[in-house]
Structure 1
């Protein structure tokens, strides 16, 4: 039996993780290998017993490796969490947090040039939407992205109706499912509500040659706010 070194001790309780049954550094084994005479019956039984102990030690080592790998995984996860926590702490010192709401409102208003509301999924009968909306949401939905950043930014965005008043609408004249139409209409209605009484800049793009008989709801909403139209293209 071998004695446990410091590296064999549990890092928490400082007790041996497990006690190996076989001394792999034994010099007796090498002496037997150099012997010219074969083992006696008693020695053979001893060897068989040692082989069984080796198998049991091997299983224990496998369990110990699994335990240590689990600990390493936990430690790495804690390390990543600490890194995120450190990044969050640094954000508390960000210069933008020192800006008053009036300055933030001006920055947000400058960033929200247009909000793209696009019917999705686009009708399979058409060639696809005119604008590629696969980039980051901040590029085509700046008002929603800003309001989803943090509670303070949301409060500023919700109190700035101009952010929600610039709309670029892309719809297909081909008939789509009521579910898709309702989702588009709900989004449009949300922006119209949040823009309050602010003048609207609307850019409407309709794809297809079949007219708008299948799209009454979005147009009805826009007509209801026609008094606020600042521009309509």
Structure 2
């Protein structure tokens, strides 16, 4: 490589032996490209498998989350505390949109979308509505 750089710097005509490099080395470059492509495909596959495994491990870890052990009665109390202060009082100064928000109980609808258990608790607890 040093000789090639010398020829590039001095602008003299190189020996003919360098003219065959294109034809001799191009297939080798193609082999490298093919191997790189094969390895990149393998790497993509490994990354996808790792992602699937990570998702599975995270789901298994979530099964043992402490919140899953809370009794329904405690969750009902927590849901009740999640209500904004204006959710329990009627005010004549409320705008129509504020009144609709209060009546819709948006906080309960959000909580009910966490999981099927929370959905059931939120919808089947009369004091929350």
Could you tell me which of 11, 29, 50 is aligned with 1:58? Answer: 29
Could you tell me which of 130, 145, 157 is aligned with 2:122? Answer: 157
Aligned to 1:73: 44
Q: Which structure's residues are more often strand, by fraction?
A: 1
Structure 1 residue 111, shift from structure 2 partner = 1.4
Aligned residues: 99
Partners of 1:155 and 1:72 lie apart in 2 by: 44
Q: Which structure carries more relative contact order (alpha carbon 8 Å, separation 6+)?
A: 2
Aligned to 1:147: 112
Does residue 72 of structure 2 align to residue 104 of structure 1? no
Structure 1 residue 87, shift from structure 2 partner = 1.9
Q: How high is the TM-score relative to the length of structure 2?
A: 0.58
Query: What are the ranges of 5 or more consecutive residues in structure 1 without an aligned counterpart?
Result: 1-37, 117-128, 131-139, 166-233
User: 1:82-101 alignment to 2 at 5 Å?
Assistant: 82-101=53-72
Q: How high is the TM-score relative to the length of structure 1?
A: 0.35
Query: What are the ranges of 5 or more consecutive residues in structure 2 without an aligned counterpart?
Result: 1-14, 88-96, 99-104
Structure 1 residue 158, shift from structure 2 partner = 1.5
Structure 1 stretches of at least 4 aligned residues deviating more than 6 Å after TM superposition: none
Task: Please give the per-residue CA displacement for 1:47-77, whole angstroms capped at 9, x wherever unaligned.
Answer: 84x7434212211211221221122123223
Q: Which structure's residues are more often helix, by fraction?
A: 2
